[in-house]
């Protein structure tokens, strides 16, 4: 149960609000400043909306919109005015917040970054999207792994972004590092609705982990984002779901990290996150703890290759108007130009 969306908060509960933010159009620095103010206003709305709320979550692209514009004038930095405004809003309203920025990268294309700020205004989590939505997105692939932090009420909290959630390995990594709640922020549009729903549920159940997920909402005159705020319990049950498509609605639920911990310790059947590394422990003591998965060993060895690799037709962003890259991963733009 969700405690009536968090209205009836239990001593061990964490109340999360997922903001189905109206999709903006951001072209100029003035647009960026105005959208920053809009997000700050919504932090205040979240606190007024529900005094019990611990964490308010904004979607990917909340600040920049879906244009994929890499204009340096509207890219952000951790020490810039946009992040400073988010920190001040969290401190003023005494609430944790999750935010999205497109971050300047002197060595290449911008990063698509997510931030979690605590209720005193301190940056607690900083994550760069590992799997940009190719071939549509131009962002640099993340290079910092997936951090897991102590969040509100001491919960273990992780953040992934949009397309990241289509890779089960991403949710598994969050859980393996201890996450009890995984946030997934997105800008997805309506064609992804079904995939969004079942991956949010499978990411939860396969890892005995709460997932809290939200997209941008409404139209910017070109794109139509779907909202779909969705909070899923560790057993895969949907606790709260914003199906109306109403922009600026805040979808809320209370979640119970203590029950996540209880399930991970006491479940026998379907304790998947444990059983994955202890195959067949009924037959052999401790279970098999090898790595029988070819794709894992090949990826770790730098030789990941599909049987149909040579037949894949879309391998860069030229179909979406981006030039084919010449720089290899890990190489700086200046080095590639030499």
| 239: CB partners within 8 A, 6+ apart | 1, 2, 231, 232, 233, 253, 254, 255
* Residue recorded with tokens 């809009």: 38
Residue closest to 78 by CA, chosen among 102, 51, 107: 102
What pLDDT is stored for residue 244 in this prediction? 86
Look-up: residue for tokens 């059947």?
269
Using pLDDT thresholds of 50, 70 and 90, give the confidence band for residue 4.
confident
Alpha-carbon distance 85 to 121, whole Å?
9
* Secondary structure of residue 205 in the 3-state scheme: helix
| Predicted local confidence at residue 333, as pLDDT | 77
Confidence of residue 1 (pLDDT cuts 50, 70, 90): low
For the chain, the domains span: 3-275, 294-337
Rounded distance, CA 117 to CA 87, Å? 6
Helical H runs in 50-108?
Answer: 81-93
- Which positions ≥6 away from 193 have C-beta within 8 Å? 226, 228
DSSP for 237-305? -EEEE--S--TTEEEEEEE-HHHHHHHHHH--TT-HHHHTTSBTTTTSTT-B-S---HHHHHHHTT---
Q: pLDDT band at 289, cuts 50/70/90? A: very high
Write out the two tokens for 13.
């509960």
Buried b (16+ CB within 10 A) or exposed e, 278-313: eeeeeeeeebeeeeeeeeeeeeeeeeeeeeeeeeee
| Cα(81)–Cα(95) distance, integer angstroms | 19
Question: pLDDT: is 333 or 312 the higher one?
Answer: 312
Q: 44: number of CA atoms within 13 Å, CB side? A: 10
pLDDT in tens, 12-45: 999 999 999 999 999 999 999 999 999 999 999 9
Angle at 214 between CA 212 and CA 219, to 5 degrees: 175
Rg (CA), the chain: 20
Q: pLDDT, tens digit, for every residue of 270-284? A: 999 999 999 999 999
User: What's the longest Cα–Cα distance across the chain?
Assistant: 65
Closest to 63 in 3D by CA, of 50, 75, 51:
75
Measure the CA–CA gap between 96 and 79, rounded to whole angstroms: 19
For 227-253, the pLDDT digits (tens) are 999 999 999 999 999 988 899 999 999
Reply yes or no on whether the pLDDT at 52 is more than 60.
Answer: yes
Q: What is the mean pLDDT of the chain?
A: 96
Global pTM value: 0.97
Residue 336 has pLDDT above 80, yes or no: no
Q: pLDDT digit string (tens) for 79-126?
A: 999 999 999 999 999 999 999 999 999 999 999 999 999 999 999 999
Residues annotated as part of the active site? 60, 129, 162
List phi, psi (to 5°) of 53.
Answer: -65, 130
The answer for residues whose C-beta is within 8 angstroms of residue 173's C-beta and 6 or more apart is 145, 146
pLDDT the model gives residue 207: 98
* pLDDT > 60? residue 7: yes
DSSP codes, 149-189: EE-GGG-EEEEEEGGGGGSHHHHHHHHHTT-SEEEEEE--B
Multiple choice CATH, 3-275, 3.90.870.10, 3.40.50.1100, 3.10.180.10, 3.60.110.10: 3.60.110.10
């Amino acid at each position: 149960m969700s405690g009536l969306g968090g209205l009836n908060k239990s001593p061990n509960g964490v109340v999360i609000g997922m903001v189905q933010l109206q999709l903006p159009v951001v072209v100029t620095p003035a647009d960026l400043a105005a959208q920053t103010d809009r997000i700050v206003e919504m932090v205040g709305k979240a606190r007024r909306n529900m005094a019990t709320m611990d964490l308010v979550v904004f979607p990917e692209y909340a600040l920049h919109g879906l244009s994929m514009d890499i204009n340096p004038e509207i890219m952000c930095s951790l020490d810039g005015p946009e992040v400073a405004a988010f920190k001040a809003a969290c401190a003023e309203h005494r609430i944790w917040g999750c935010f999205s920025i497109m971050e300047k990268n002197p060595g290449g294309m911008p990063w698509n970054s997510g931030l979690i700020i605590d209720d005193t205004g301190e940056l607690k989590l900083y994550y760069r999207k590992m799997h940009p939505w190719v071939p549509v997105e131009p962002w640099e692939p993340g290079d910092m792994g997936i951090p897991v932090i102590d969040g509100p009420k001491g919960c273990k909290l992780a953040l992934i972004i949009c397309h990241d959630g289509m890779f089960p390995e991403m949710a598994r990594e969050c859980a393996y590092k201890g996450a009890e709640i995984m946030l997934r922020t997105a800008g997805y549009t309506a064609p992804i609705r079904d995939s969004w729903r079942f991956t949010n549920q499978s990411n939860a159940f396969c890892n005995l982990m709460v997932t809290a997920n939200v997209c941008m909402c409404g139209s910017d005159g070109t794109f139509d984002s779907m909202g779909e705020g969705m909070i899923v319990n560790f057993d895969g049950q949907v606790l709260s779901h914003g199906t109306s498509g109403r922009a600026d609605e805040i979808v809320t639920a209370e979640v119970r990290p203590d029950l996540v911990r209880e399930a991970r310790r006491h479940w026998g059947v379907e304790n998947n996150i444990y059983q994955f590394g202890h195959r067949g422990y009924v037959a052999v003591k401790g279970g098999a703890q090898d790595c029988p998965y070819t794709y894992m060993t090949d990826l770790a060895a730098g030789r990941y290759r599909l049987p149909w690799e040579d037949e894949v037709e879309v391998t860069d962003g030229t179909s979406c108007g981006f030039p084919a890259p010449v720089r290899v991963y890990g190489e700086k733009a200046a080095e590639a130009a030499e």
